[in-house]
Amino acid sequence: MPELPEVETVKIGITEHLLGSIISEVRAERVMLRKPMPVENLITLVGSKVISISRRAKYIFINFDSSLSLIIHLGMSGALLLDKSATYLPKKHDHLVINFDNSICLIYNDPRRFGLVDLCKTDECSGLSYLAALGPEPFAKNFNFAYFQDMLKKRSLPIKLALMDNKILVGVGNIYANEILYEAGISPLRSANSLKAEEIEKLILNIQAVLSKAIKAGGSTLKDYKKADGTFGGFQEGFHVYGRKGLSCFRCSSQVTHISQSRRSTYFCSTCQT
DNA sequence: CGGCGGTCCTGTCAGC
DNA sequence: TGCTGACAGGACCGCC
C-alpha cells in the first residue's frame, strides 16, 4: 500500500480532473472493508460538486458542496484510478465506481479489502474515531524536535515501530521506515527512548527528506500501487535497503540484513546503522 | 497504558 | 502443471 508519498501522489493526480465536477452516478458494492461500505449514504452523493480534495495521514478526503466528505483509505492493496473513456467496464474488486458529469469515472479498487470508504459531514470528520487520535503530519509545525523527543522518551519499543505508530507521527509505513532509518544511520532495533538529541534531529530531517523525495518521484510502485492515471511511481529505484536482503550496502558494501519486527519486514545495514 | 501477537483478505511467487 | 506455504505497502483488537 500506499504510504504517505503514494497517497499524496494519488491526491494530486485526481484533483486536477475532479475539481468542479458533479457526480452523476454512484455504483457501490455492498462489501466489507475495514468497516462496511456505507452504500445507502454514498448514493446520496449524486448531484454533489467537488469543491476540494485534501489528505490527512493516509486518508484522502473528497469534499463536496453538499457539506459532505468522501473519505478513502487505500489499505495495503487499494488503488484509486481515473478512467476517461465514457464507458468504463468494472473490473474485479472495483468496490466503488463514481461517474462525473464531465464523463470522468473514479474507481476504487481494493483486492484485500483492508482499505476504508466512508462518508461524513465535512465539519464532523475530525471527530471520527479513526481520525481523532492521529498524531501530527510529518511536514507540519507541530511535528518538531520538542514534540518528537517527548514522545520517544516515553516509549521503549523499537524505533522502527515508533516511526510507524500513527499516534506519534502519521504517514510513515514499513518501506519508508526502513529507508529513513538507513539514511539516519540508526538501527531499527534501538528502543525509542534510547535515542540521543542529535539522533532525533537527524531522524526528523530524514523523515522529511525521504518522504519529500518520494513525493517528487511520484511515490513507489511495488505490486499494487499505481498512480491515478494508471502509470507507476519511480521512487522504488531509489530504495537503499528495502527489499535488498543480502545485497551490498551502497555505503560500506556489507550485506543488507533482513529481520522481522512485529511481523513486518525490516531491512538494514548493521554496519552503518548503530 | 504500553507492547506485542493475531487477524482481516486476496494475489503472487518460490519450492516441491 | 498444480498444490502449499510464506509473504505483501495498514491498522484494529484483545491479551498480558
Taking the CA of residue A247 and the C1' sugar atom of nucleotide B10, their distance in angstroms comes to 30
* Weakest mean pLDDT among A68-82, A220-234, A246-260: A220-234
Cβ atoms of residues A37 and A27 within 8 Å: no
Q: What is the pLDDT of residue A225?
A: 61
pLDDT, residue A1, reads: 56
The per-residue pLDDT for range A103-127, each reduced to its tens digit, is 999 999 999 999 999 999 999 999 9
Q: Which of A8, A11, A58, A160 is catalytic?
A: A58
pLDDT in tens, A18-45: 999 999 999 999 999 999 999 999 999 9
Asked about A58 being catalytic, the answer comes back as yes
- On strand C, nucleotides with any atom < 7 Å from a protein CB are 7-12
Note the pLDDT of residue A197.
Answer: 97
Higher pLDDT, A179 or A237: A179
Residue carrying C-alpha cell 515501530: A161
Given the C-alpha cell 489528505, which residue does it identify? A55
pLDDT in tens, A206-252: 999 999 999 999 888 766 566 778 778 888 878 999 999 999 999 99
* Cα separation values, A67 from A50, A64, A209, Å: 10, 6, 35
Q: What band does A2 get if pLDDT is binned at 50, 70 and 90?
A: confident
